[in-house]
Amino acid sequence: MGSPKLISFPLVSLFFILATIIPAMEANADEWDELRKYFKGERKLHKFQCHLTSTNESDLNKNKISISTINDHYLNSTRRELYGKKNRRGGPCMATNVIDQCWRCDPNWAKKRQNMADCVKGFGSKARGGKGGKYYLVTDPSDDWQNPKPGTLRHAVIQKEPLWITFAGKMNIKLGQELIMQSDKTIDGRGASVHISGGAGITIQFVKNIIITNIHIHNIVPTSGGMIRDAVDHVGLRTHNEGDGISIFGSTDIWIDHVSMSRCSDGLIDAVQGSSGITISNCHFTDHDKVLLFGASDSTEVDRDMKVTVAFNHFGKRLIERMPRCRSGFFHLVNNDYTHWEMYAIGGSHAPTIISQGNRYIAPVTEKFESLREVTHRDNAPESEWSKWTWVTDGDLFQNGAKFVPSGNPNGAKLYAALELIRPAPASQVAVLTKDAGFLRCAVGNPC
């Protein structure tokens, strides 16, 4: 969905709008649109820089690092800070969450890249990407969306067999049109510095088994559409693309891990039209309005069975809303660090089930606008209806006056314990668990 057009207000009108709409805990849609326009018009989004990680104390013991030792370095202030460079060479492996510990501490990770496919947790646990297939080395950053050249990323993703795609070195890939992927692919940027920026984003449509890891995606813009090759034997007509960073449409078994994302024209990640079996982990999000959208419409039941895990991510500076915004479906938010939001963190409509466990929520610094401290926001339903939706907070940490308004069954977390949920670590460890989120500078021959 497109961003609202920017408008400017006279100073008196601006204060009138803020004074009337912000105190309302249940602002209607028109009021939220006005507030969104204010933030889009008044706040300048700056440049980004990323990082993140996560884990359980028992797993840390395997690497002989105590959680208390790491906490001494990373938990000295209520507002998250990034403490120097990540461990590159020598010293103990600093991976701190159950996903990262599965592979990052192995100095031979580059020789065993495909082992990473066994590390995914949560609802995307069946995603294997291109495991078992050949390696494809991207050597050319150019993009021809109708007749892709061998050695380009587009030529790799349109192949029909399983492929594990790697990169020859540092490159910026400006996609002329959306990058449409075939099933059974891994895009693996470890050991390189890969930016997809300045053009279109990635489209995962009606496919399965996709892994995207360790790349930057930013400054994605709308594209006009046209004839685009989506397979080695097919070129199809595509309509206008709104500029999502990653668009997941009718697809299953998807894992997005250690991706740094910012400044896309529409959403950073959208998952719609019956997509399910998705894990988004260890990512760093900054400089954006509408961050994550799960489910596109209140008028359809196609997303009723959607299941998404959001784990060990850092929702960072200059974010406004939708972290995520959910429609129907089931969403597990676990051990994420919400250090910044401008309007709200978690939103929803159409009766989604949201289980929030072991997250840290740090409300915006504001004295005038108390309603902005609320983590949750519900759309298109009166309280008599949304009070029946299961939105549970379990073991979360709230700072700077952050408030989560629960609803529905307070035992919801226990009811769904049999599902593929990641067991939460204590919320007090979240700054440690997410300290390396986003792109990792991995050196071959060393722990990553």
For residue 111, give the 3-state DSSP assignment: helix
- Residues near 31 by beta carbon (within 8 Å), at least 6 away in sequence: 21, 24
89, amino acid identity: R
| Residue of 182, 324, 323 whose CA lies nearest to 251 | 182
For residue 277, give the 3-state DSSP assignment: strand
- Determine which one of 104, 113, 322, 373 is catalytic: 322
Residue 340 burial (CB count, 10 A)? 22
| Residue of 355, 274, 284 whose CA lies nearest to 313 | 284
Q: Which two tokens stand for residue 70?
A: 């790491």
Burial class for 369, CB neighbours closer than 10 Å (0-12, 13-18, 19+): middle
- Residues near 92 by beta carbon (within 8 Å), at least 6 away in sequence: 63, 64, 65
- Is 280 in contact with 269 (CB distance < 8 Å)? yes
What is the spatial distance between Cα 107 and Cα 446, in angstroms, rounded to a whole number? 4
- Is 414 in contact with 390 (CB distance < 8 Å)? no
Q: Which two tokens stand for residue 323?
A: 């972290």
Based on the residue annotation, tell me whether 89 is a catalytic residue of this protein: no
Residue linked to tokens 């089931």: 330
Residue 259 burial (CB count, 10 A)? 31
47, amino acid identity: K
Beta strands in 215-321 (DSSP E): 216-220, 226-231, 234-238, 246-249, 252-257, 260-264, 269-272, 276-281, 284-286, 288-290, 292-294, 307-311, 314-315, 319-321
Active site residues: 322
